[in-house]
Amino acid sequence: SKKISKICCIGAGYVGGPTMAVIAQKCPDIEVTVVDINAQRIAAWNDKDVNKIPVYEPGLSEVVAEARGKNLFFSTEVDKAIDEAEMIFISVNTPTKTYGKGKGMAADLKYIELCARQIARVAKNDKIVVEKSTLPVRTAEALKSILHNTGNGVNFDILSNPEFLAEGTAIQDLYKPDRVLIGGDSPEAIQALVDVYACWVPNENILTTNVWSSELSKLTANAFLAQRVSSINALSELCEKTGADVNEVARAIGTDSRIGPKFLKASVGFGGSCFQKDILNLVYIAKTYGLTEVADYWEQVILMNDHQKRRFADNIVSTLYNTVSGKKIAFLGWAFKKDTNDTRESAAIYVADHLLNEQAEIVVYDPKVPEEQIYADLDYLNTRSEKENRNLVTVVNDPYEAVNEAHAVAVLTEWDEFKAYDWQKIYREMLKPSFVFDGRALLDKEQLKGIGFEMYTIGVGEEQ
Ligand code: NAI
């Protein structure tokens, strides 16, 4: 099969950046260029201070430091990179549509289509085009149709290669993937991509399927993962009412090898750019085929997640004597999970929105999320004016400043450092009674009760 010497990746985001950095590090003979139309993002990837790259992931800046300028490049010259590469990854965003048919459900494929048209316009020799973005079933067909009608005699092979990395552990996941999935119909093209991964991934971990199985597998994997979270979260509410502890229940059922121990942590709700978007997409596809029961089944995973965020906020209000108006509530964490600076669909955003509707004053501390991002997330909801958001929400760089004179602390992200804080000191700084709402079951409930806190831990009921 053809040996690849130059790769181009369109989209320098949370997937394109880390994935290409690892390919470059592991395949020193391949030159990898990551391009993006967002010039600010590319400038950040090229920042001399490698700690200022736009994606925070443990271990990522080290990989970038090693490969950047050697065989890893970040650029805004999209046409040039397309022209020179034999293999082009498309890793652009595929958000939920916000307009027209399928609004709020279907994936918006306009960015993908723009990429396909750009490749069709620029390419002068044969290319392998790899879908890295998560795409609805049969998108490859649309790509093929756009690319094959250029009339310039160039041949395009299209592969689906969905990415299974999890943010927060992206580098480890890329180094040791449970599997790499490649869907396609050209054996030579498939082999060319297998050869890239074979630089570091054992052959038995590289699966090949037809294109549609591959596309659907990614949506299915995210649907199953999110479904586990909603299942344990549904039980967390029952545990709270009955005096059980959802963490004990999770431990007990997780020992069943058919269930397994992972991804059974109750929380204030899942977030991230993928789970909700991909399930909505699955629901939309099922509806398109008239499969109402299938669609309703998966939609319930989202409804449960919305309920979990909502009830966490409602519980704060009712516990604080049915009013939070003018009360200071300290948010520990804003990112959708620990070890990432990504806030897309973070539970914190929605909990904050509910509390702001009740006129709470929120002070946010997150170790990695900058102030502008927090305001941008709230503004995007369009619930209130930008001015009101800035009046009601303060962002601080010191957790002890956040808790000063606060009525309550709410833990929204499971950052490790929150466990190590001086909770005696936090108790002294807060108003009394001092409430802690632990949305991640992160803190030691008994220890904090011993200090004097009024504790609420998600999924943990009071023994009757
Ligand atoms: P992102 O939003 O962080 O990055 C996408 C980038 O593509 C942006 O920087 C944007 O400026 C750029 N872009 C859009 N159109 C372009 C064009 N025509 N030319 C050049 N650049 C363009 O998105 P992220 O998180 O990297 O996700 C990308 C895809 O990967 C999505 O389909 C997502 O569902 C999928 N995915 C995401 C995972 C995650 O953990 N974030 C995991 C697995 C898959």
Same domain, 322 and 404: yes
Ligand 1 pocket test: pick from 22, 91, 278 the residue with the most ligand atoms within 8 Å of its Cβ: 91
Residue 153's pLDDT band, with cuts at 50, 70 and 90, is: confident
Q: Is the pLDDT of residue 61 over 90?
A: yes
Q: Is the pLDDT of residue 150 over 80?
A: no
Cα(10) to centroid(ligand 1), Å: 9
How far, in Å, CA of 189 to CA of 158, rounded?
A: 8
Structural domain contains residue 76: yes
Same domain, 272 and 186: no
How far, in Å, CA of 350 to CA of 344, rounded?
A: 11
Task: Give the tens place of pLDDT for each residue, 75-125.
Answer: 999 999 999 999 999 999 999 999 999 999 988 999 999 999 999 999 999
User: What is the signed CA dihedral for 238, 241, 247, 253, rounded to 10 degrees?
Assistant: -40
Atom of ligand 1 nearest to the CA of 134: 32
Q: How many CB atoms lie within 10 A of CB 164?
A: 15
Consecutive H or E run containing 211: helix 211-242
- According to the model, what pLDDT value does residue 464 have? 60
Task: Give the tens place of pLDDT for each residue, 415-452.
Answer: 999 999 999 999 999 999 999 999 999 999 999 999 99
Share of the chain above pLDDT 70, in %: 99
Task: Give the tens place of pLDDT for each residue, 208-229.
Answer: 999 999 999 999 999 999 999 9
Number of domains in the chain: 2
Share of the chain above pLDDT 90, in %: 93
How far, in Å, CA of 23 to CA of 160, rounded?
A: 17
Structural domain contains residue 220: no
Give the global pTM: 0.95
Same domain, 164 and 285: no
Structural domain contains residue 44: yes
Task: Give the tens place of pLDDT for each residue, 354-387.
Answer: 999 999 999 999 999 999 999 999 999 999 999 9
- According to the model, what pLDDT value does residue 140 have? 84
Same domain, 277 and 184: no
Cα(12) to centroid(ligand 1), Å: 7
Phi, psi of 160 (to 5 degrees): -105, 125
The pLDDT of 116-142, averaged and rounded, is 91
Residue 137's pLDDT band, with cuts at 50, 70 and 90, is: confident
Q: How many CB atoms lie within 10 A of CB 99?
A: 8
274 flagged as catalytic:
yes
Same domain, 388 and 420: yes
Structural domain contains residue 273: yes
Q: 234 lies in which domain range?
A: 225-457
How far, in Å, CA of 387 to CA of 389, rounded?
A: 5
Cα(247) to centroid(ligand 1), Å: 34
Q: How many CB atoms lie within 10 A of CB 28?
A: 11
Same domain, 282 and 366: yes
Task: Give the tens place of pLDDT for each residue, 268-280.
Answer: 999 999 999 999 9
Structural domain contains residue 214: no
Phi, psi of 31 (to 5 degrees): -90, 125
Q: Which amino acids bring their CB within 6 angstroms of ligand 1?
A: 10-16, 35-38, 41, 78, 91-94, 111, 114-115, 133-134, 163, 165, 167, 273-274
Same domain, 229 and 196: no
Task: Give the tens place of pLDDT for each residue, 159-191.
Answer: 999 999 999 999 999 999 999 999 999 999 999
Atom of ligand 1 nearest to the CA of 135: 32
DSSP state at residue 459: T
Same domain, 381 and 325: yes
